[in-house]
Amino acid sequence: MRSNEVKRGIDRVAHRALLKALGVLDSEIDKPFIGIANAYNTIVPGHMTLDKLTQAVKEGVYAAGGVPFEFGVIGICDGIAMGHDGMCFSLPSRELVADSIEAMVEAHRFDGLVVVGSCDKIIPGMLMAVLRLNIPAIVVTGGPMIPEKVNEQRISIMDAFEAAGRFKAGKINEFELKLYEDFCAPYCGSCQGLFTANTMQILTETLGLSLPYASTSPCASSRKLRIAKMSGQRVVELVKQNLKPLDIINERSFENAVTMDMLIGGSTNTVLHLPAIANEAGVKLSLDLFDEISRKTPHIVALDPASKDYVVDLDESGGVPMIIRKAKRFFHNELTVSGKRIYEIADMAVLRGRDIIRDISNPYRKEGGIAILRGNIAERGSVIKTAALSEEMMKFEGVAKVFDGEKEALNAILNGKIEEGDVVVIRYMGPKGAPGMPEMLLPTAAISGMGLKRVALLTDGRFSGATRGPCVGHISPEAAEGGNIALIKDGDVIRMDVKARSINAEVSKDEFAERREKWKPRERKLRGYLAKYAKLVRGADEGAILS
């Protein structure tokens, strides 16, 4: 066992003394030491019950004959960080999560690891650490939030973001605005729809790194506690079997995750996170692979923002196992941390409520819920969530209105300066340019809330999973690197054709060359972590990993 390095032998007397200071008994010294990385805090709704889940994990570890040691992990709430400079820290926090877990596990020589987390960048960072460390490990995800109702309709946090635009447009009054504020996030858990947090939880289960139904079991449910306790037991068994993440995860596992992403129409942020996670396993996930799988995978689940169904509805429909059961031929039959292969788990799936998973013969669309677009604006690629895009907007032409930042764009939208047929271009929002590639949920929510139906938004930043409509993100190369998005001007005609996978400005090569001669990169004074991050981060097309 790795932990013998800190607890066995005469020269480890002081080490054992320090362990005994923690309450470790002589009878426990020779048992497996299990690290538990807990992202609990009191600022993120998805994290506020992780202390209870971690306690259940500890009980499971004890029951199976291990010794648990808990340590903390940071977590940023994207919703609270949204729309101001704090959002620049969200994506960069993924690397901090991964690095801090690596440091704690390596320094203390744990035999096994359980990561307990929820929400957007925390789960990807934890998965990166799990694969990087490659010791027996299991993931316990916090689970989705349960929705409440306003005006007899169930709502999600997306409705709160859009409520501001609806109020500005005179569609709701101040009393109704307050109702959305009070009931859009009524419980603990990851925000109700298929946004980044819940998408990543579902993909974690699909990869095989969490137990069945971990991703869709509601936050604070008794089943979630049982899954946490079973995860604690299972990690001790994994240590005894010496079964490591890279014995389970391979290129086919990631193909399964991308396939699931397309079947459910998940958040575009997965196109950043899955390549970064795969990189830790020595697997390269290209944008071409996402598009290749998208073209042959039907879209069979529509959750908020693509519909008014939520992750709790998917859970009642049989969750991840039922999706795999209905679309089995699209998946590789890979091993999971449970010891079972995904087909075996899928065969035991149970429908408990209304079935919202369509058969593959009757999909919402014949292609997956995410598409990769390329053209003279995005020579290295860009991403659009087709699952939340109307059929009539699959092909669009409009006139550019260009903004060098999110705040300027948001003010223009809310003050009625954006009209039907416009293409809002928000640049210098990329991994290096912002830095940190902030999400553009406030502008997209304002467009929806204002009732604008034929307005597209393009950015070298990224979008929340709650974003809907013709929104193209991750444009690479980004403006700060001299990508052509930096050269777009007000009035340029921009054409988008999702089925053709193209996005182009009606600007000739000669005109772009002439504009480039006059272009100067925008300078921004940075300090601290963001200064380091901006120097090291790669483009969105590479998963915004650090060099």
Convert the pLDDT of each residue in 444-479 to its tens digit: 888 888 888 899 999 999 987 667 778 999 999 999
pLDDT band for position 524 (cuts 50, 70, 90): confident
Average pLDDT value for residue range 521-544: 94
Of residues 319, 336, 502, 531, the one with CA closest to residue 436: 531
pLDDT band for position 425 (cuts 50, 70, 90): very high
Per-residue model confidence (pLDDT) at position 466: 66
pLDDT band for position 123 (cuts 50, 70, 90): very high
Average pLDDT value for residue range 400-424: 94
Per-residue model confidence (pLDDT) at position 94: 98
Per-residue model confidence (pLDDT) at position 32: 98
- CB-CB contact of 460 with 482 (8 Å): no
Of residues 267, 271, 90, the one with CA closest to residue 195: 267
Choosing from 190, 231, 382, 464, the catalytic residue is: 464
Per-residue model confidence (pLDDT) at position 448: 83
Q: By three-state DSSP, how is residue 443 classified?
A: helix
508 has a pLDDT exceeding 70:
yes
pLDDT digits (tens, 9 = 90+) for 256-287: 999 999 999 999 999 999 999 999 999 999 99
- CB-CB contact of 31 with 65 (8 Å): yes
Per-residue model confidence (pLDDT) at position 165: 83
Q: How far apart are CA 301 and CA 356, in angstroms?
A: 7
Instruction: Tell me the percentage of the chain whose pLDDT exceeds 70.
Output: 100
Per-residue model confidence (pLDDT) at position 464: 77
Tokens of 277: 């996670």
Residues in the chain: 547
Tell me the range of 149-163, 341-355, 387-401 where mean pLDDT is highest.
Answer: 341-355
Per-residue model confidence (pLDDT) at position 442: 86
Q: Over the chain, what is the mean pLDDT?
A: 95
Per-residue model confidence (pLDDT) at position 423: 96
546 has a pLDDT exceeding 80:
yes
Q: Structure pTM?
A: 0.95
Q: Is 267 a catalytic residue?
A: no
Return the exposure string of 393-415: e unless at least 16 CB atoms fall within 10 Å of the residue's CB, then b.
Answer: bbebebebbbbebbeebbebbbe
Q: How far apart are CA 69 and CA 58, in angstroms?
A: 8
- CB-CB contact of 377 with 475 (8 Å): yes
133 has a pLDDT exceeding 80:
yes
Per-residue model confidence (pLDDT) at position 441: 82
- CB-CB contact of 531 with 524 (8 Å): no
> In Å, what is the CA distance from 313 to each residue of 192, 211, 228?
10, 19, 21
